[in-house]
Amino acid sequence: MSTSLRYHDKNLEMMSGAEIAELQWSKLGSLLQQVWDTNPFYRDRWASAGVDPSKIKNLEDFRTIIPTVDKAAFMADQEATPPFGLRHEPVLNSLKGHVPITTSGSSGQGVEIHLQTQEDVANHNALNRYYFKWSGLEPGDIVFLMMHVSLLAGGRCEYHAAIDYGLSVYPVAMHDTAKRVELIQRFRPKGLIATTSYLGHLAAKSGEDLSNSGISALFCGAESASPKWFQRLESSFGAKAFDRYGLSQMATDHMFTCERGVGTSDNPGVLHNIDPYVLLEVIDPESGEHVADGERGEIVLSSLYRSLVPVIRCRTNDSAIYRAPGSCDCGRGFSGIQAGSVQRIDEVKKVKGINIWPQAMDEAIFSFPEVRDYRVILTSDATEADVGIVEFLATDGSTPEGLEKRITTHLRDKIGIGFEVRAVAMPFSETASQKKQRWIEKRHHVLVPTVAM
């Protein structure tokens, strides 16, 4: 496969880091005053922190003076002023149609809602044009979308963006895997859009070689994966893997691998942030200082194109290895993060595409007084689909009749997915109260390699 560069907007992509920073500040400088004047959520937060927007003269001032915001602040806002929160007053007062996006709520921290304008959605589409262009797809090409279109950002933003780019989008999420394989063989799409783990499941479940199905691009995402796992996908499909990163609060993906794809263990690719639209910071979570190229930090994001409901210095709770402008072999001036390096700072687990907060699992399991302790083993079956196994220790050493079945049913109701539940006779450890020891990760596709920089 050719690795020649495919530019969507060469003038922007080949700007230097300094030129891009100047462009970002030209957008951000005017945005801050507008937000102060029109958005009570940010104005109240900034006023409480002693912020005067007129004193912010450059990006360094912005990073130093403007406080960060996070999920807890968004939840508090919409709980204080339901259902949308004060931050959405500008878009609601505009009397224009809005596009709602919610988080799944499966983390146990609540369901956020984020309203976008139609103009925002158009800009989301513009962001994703880089992704499709870099992957080698052209208008008219067929892609299969294997993610559901719903109130969640994942699936919805990909659908709108692919349509806007001019792709022929086949939404096949409603079909089972066997039917999807049949449709792939019939229509021979050039691209598959799905979560990374599902693509592995699809390859294994098909029971046959898909490398001659006409697929050239695998649009992975929604979870981190190692280069070896991506290479396995590429071998199965005879196609190149391209990764993406987005955030529910942003309501779109905005970091994409270029023509290089995800790279290798020795030379990982870069998820390029589309800097003209989104300001990326990667900070030390403790000090708040921006990390250097090749160092790990927390991802902090600001939208540069949304005037009514912007996202300004949002802490994502995701950590990644920062890559400075120009650090990728492609030579682009966009900043980014190392492909395959994203990890959650907290202990949230993604199983079968669902985020599971350990506290939510604690509450579900320990609602049974017969359970003394438990652990969760995450592994994969023969088709590379996620398997969650819950092993529990009963309080008196014996297993009450029907307890395994009752726990299984309760977990499906409360967590939203099925687990294999079984009783064990021996304690797990003397320090079983430590949550990290309750979760044992054995899935190959989520292991993040350590790469010397």
> Which long-range contacts does 397-404 make (Cβ < 8 Å, 24+ apart)?
397/425, 399/423, 400/370, 403/368, 403/370
pTM greater than 0.85 (yes/no): no
Estimate to the nearest angstrom the gap between the alpha carbon of 280 and the chain centroid. Answer: 15
- CB-based contact 259:4 (threshold 8 Å): yes
Q: How far is it, in rounded angstroms, from Cα 61 to Cα 188?
A: 51
Please give the residue that has the higher pLDDT: either 221 or 452. Answer: 221
**Can you tell me the mean pLDDT for 36-51?**
96
* Amino acid letter, residue 246: G
* pLDDT given at position 4: 87
pLDDT at 152 over 50: yes
Per-residue pLDDT band at 282 (split at 50, 70, 90): very high
pLDDT at 79 over 60: yes
Average pLDDT over every residue of 168-190? 94
Mean pLDDT of 290-294: 97
Q: What is the mean pLDDT of residues 129-148?
A: 97
According to the model, what pLDDT value does residue 325 have?
95
For residue 83, whether the previous peptide bond is cis, meaning omega lies within 30 degrees of 0, is yes
Q: What is the mean pLDDT of residues 248-277?
A: 93
Name which of 152, 154, 157, 159 is nearest 105 in CA terms. 152
* pLDDT at 59 > cutoff 60: yes
pLDDT above 60: residue 432: no
Q: Give pLDDT, residue 1.
A: 37
Query: Are the C-beta atoms of residues 408 and 188 closer than 8 Å to each other?
Result: no
The region of weakest confidence among 66-80, 293-307, 328-342, 438-452 is 438-452
What's the pLDDT at 353? 80
Average pLDDT over residues 91-113: 83
SS3 of 239, please?
A: coil
Task: Tell me the per-residue pLDDT of 381-431, one tens digit each, with 9 for 90 and over.
Answer: 887 888 999 999 887 767 778 899 999 999 999 888 899 999 988 666 543
SS3 content of the chain, % helix, strand, coil (to 5): 35, 25, 40
Q: What is the dihedral of CA 313, 317, 322, 326, to 10 degrees?
A: -50
Domains with residue ranges and CATH for the chain: 10-18+97-345 (3.40.50.12780), 354-443 (3.30.300.30)
Is the pLDDT assigned to residue 42 strictly greater than 80? Answer: yes
